[in-house]
Amino acid sequence: MPALRRATLALIASLSALAGHASEPFSFGVLGDTPYNRFERAHLPAVVAEMDAELLKVVIHDGDIKNGGERCDDALFDDRLALFRTSYHPFVFVPGDNDWTDCHRTSNGAYDPLERLEKLRALFFADPRKTLGQYPMTVDTQADDPAFAAYREHQRWRIGPVLFLTLNVPGSGNNYGRKKAPGAEYLARSAAVKAWIEAGFAQARSAGLEGVVLVMQANPDIEDFGDGKGRIAYRELLTQLLAETRRFSGQVLLVHGDSHVHRIDTPLRDPKDGSTVDNFTRVETFGSPFMGWVKVDVTPGSKRLFRPIARPYVPKTGD
């Protein structure tokens, strides 16, 4: 597709996203857990180009911009940031465990995870009120709340009757800590996450919105939660999502990565009686070694508000 046409499509998408209050159908794209190796890094620009060719409002990477054994060096962060900035669409990044919590590993460079998180914030959220991409979109940020000023990666925006929330909830146990009692970082961030979700759903209910989209990196073991089990590091989060979804008359879509198994399902169940929460849908994005993205069509006024469509990446012959 000629560059001028791609740029025109992206400009139309970003401008309409800023207007964002008309009840017209729209689409957005999600991907994650990539690139993990040289092949994926070499081909990720082609995946971004595929998304550039679509009329999307926004593209969201749900975390893990490198593999779990790769160094968390500044040069790698700079490389991924430069790539994300090439997107013609507004581009949002959500930090994953490989990007900060696991950086203490020797193979990762034995970094201090909290120092790496601050580095991610300084680079990818230099202006927390703007997305990445060639045509950035204005967003809200939790950093505007003095009580949670550090959490510039928690962003929120509205497109039509749908509210989007990003959450720093990584895999590898959500940085709960290596002891039985949770660590200070986990407790502070969990309080921020809880407040951000609560405020988002309150806004959605007050405005009579049709949908809420939450994007994070971790697979929180939703199935085990419904069985009354599940890891303690995600239990409070899922309990809150269950309660908020029950109180919301619209549709809720949770997008995450982490376990590298692409799926679209309705796994949230109430652990008290096992009943399925019908207005909750989960999309897990593709993950290495499988590349691709998911296009989510949104049709306001429809009983099926969200319609996710898998877009696996197929390299061209000779690539």
Q: How many domains does the chain have?
A: 1
Residue 102 lies in a domain: yes
Q: Which residues pair with 138 in a beta bridge?
A: 130
In which element (H, E) is residue 76 found?
helix 74-85
Name 139's Cβ contacts closer than 8 Å, sequence gap at least 6. Answer: 92, 128, 129, 130, 131, 155, 156, 157
Residue 207 lies in a domain: yes
Tokens of 8: 């025109």
**Residue 64 contacts residue 257 (beta carbons within 8 Å):** yes
* pLDDT tens sequence for the chain (319 residues): 555 555 454 454 444 444 444 589 999 999 999 999 999 999 999 999 999 999 999 999 999 999 999 999 999 999 999 999 999 999 999 999 999 999 999 999 999 999 999 999 999 999 999 999 999 999 999 999 999 999 999 999 999 999 999 999 999 999 998 888 899 999 999 999 999 999 999 999 999 999 999 999 999 999 999 999 889 999 999 999 999 999 999 999 999 999 999 999 999 999 999 999 999 999 999 999 999 999 999 999 999 999 999 999 999 876 6
Tokens of 207: 């405005």
Residue 9 lies in a domain: yes
Name 12's Cβ contacts closer than 8 Å, sequence gap at least 6. Answer: 55
Residue 317 lies in a domain: no
Encoded amino acid at 99, one letter: D
Residue 262 C-beta-side C-alpha neighbours within 13 Å: 21
Residue 319 lies in a domain: no
**Residue 59 contacts residue 29 (beta carbons within 8 Å):** yes
Residue 79 lies in a domain: yes
Residue 68 domain boundaries: 3-312
At 284, which CATH number? Answer: 3.60.21.10
Residue 212 lies in a domain: yes
Residue 250 lies in a domain: yes
Name the one residue in this structure whose structure tokens are 């073991």. Answer: 221
Residue 164: how many other CB atoms lie within 10 Å: 24
